[in-house]
Amino acid sequence: MNSGALIWGAGPVFTIPSATDPILGTGRVLFGPTAGFLTTAGHIVMGVLLNNQWSIGGDSLRPSVNTFLAQPFFNYNMPHGWYLTSSPLITSNWLAAPGHQWTVPISGGFGRISPQAIRNRPKGLLFPISHVTKRTLACWASLLTSRHQPDHCCVAMKRVSMSAVST
């Protein structure tokens, strides 16, 4: 890890098959490089997490895997614990047919860290909104999460709707 104006780190990333249903996972052991970069400027925290994984084992009857992930993140901290945030998960399946490799969501949200969190009692609200752009699928999601660390209590509400988009 290197710290200064830019904080960064790099290393390996791996995934082992653990899905309880074949449709939920690749069935393959994955391995590859990962790197993260972060910087702060005043009220802004921003950076990116990058990795690529290839299949190196697992169920040989399942398709090979070569996937890329980029997660840029941006956080703008405002007075009284309020913040604006964006942290889309951009992915690519390098083995997919041309034109179907990328998933590029557009996301953003706002939230507030409560005064208790500032006094070492994490508690906050986050209202993210994201739009996944693909050729034939639009997916809007909103999530309300409230988390209170001392009681290990978590409440989440999620509403997802999907509709086909004509091209």
CATH of the domain at 132: 2.20.25
pLDDT for residue 136 = 31
pLDDT value for 127? 54
If asked whether residues 112 and 148 sit together in one domain, one would say: yes
pTM of the predicted protein model:
0.69
Residues 6, 65: one domain? yes
Q: Across the chain, what does the average pLDDT equal? A: 75
Do 70 and 112 sit in the same domain of this protein?
Answer: no
* pLDDT at site 151: 34
Domain match, 70 and 20 both:
yes
Q: Provide φ and ψ at 148, rounded to 5°.
A: -125, 100
CATH number at residue 33: 2.20.200
Number of independent structural domains in the chain = 2
| Exposed/middle/buried for residue 126 (C-beta within 10 Å: 0-12, 13-18, 19+) | middle
Question: Is 91 a member of any domain?
Answer: no
Measured in whole angstroms, the distance separating CA 67 from the mean position of its chain's CA atoms is 14
| 85 within some domain | no
DSSP letters for 30-51: EEEEEEEEEEEETTEEEEEEEE
Element (H, E) at 107: strand 102-113
Same domain, 112 and 43: no
Q: Which domain holds residue 3?
A: 1-77
Name residues of the chain where pLDDT drops below 50.
1-3, 121-123, 133-167
Contact 114, 81 (CB under 8 A): yes
Does 30 reside within a domain? yes
Adjacent-strand bridge partners of 35: 10, 50
Residue 106 near residue 131, CB atoms below 8 Å = yes
| Under 8 Å between Cβ of 45 and 84 | no
- Which candidate, 50, 56, 59, 51, places its Cα nearest to that of 18? 59
Q: What is the pLDDT of residue 113?
A: 80
* Same domain? 139 vs 70: no
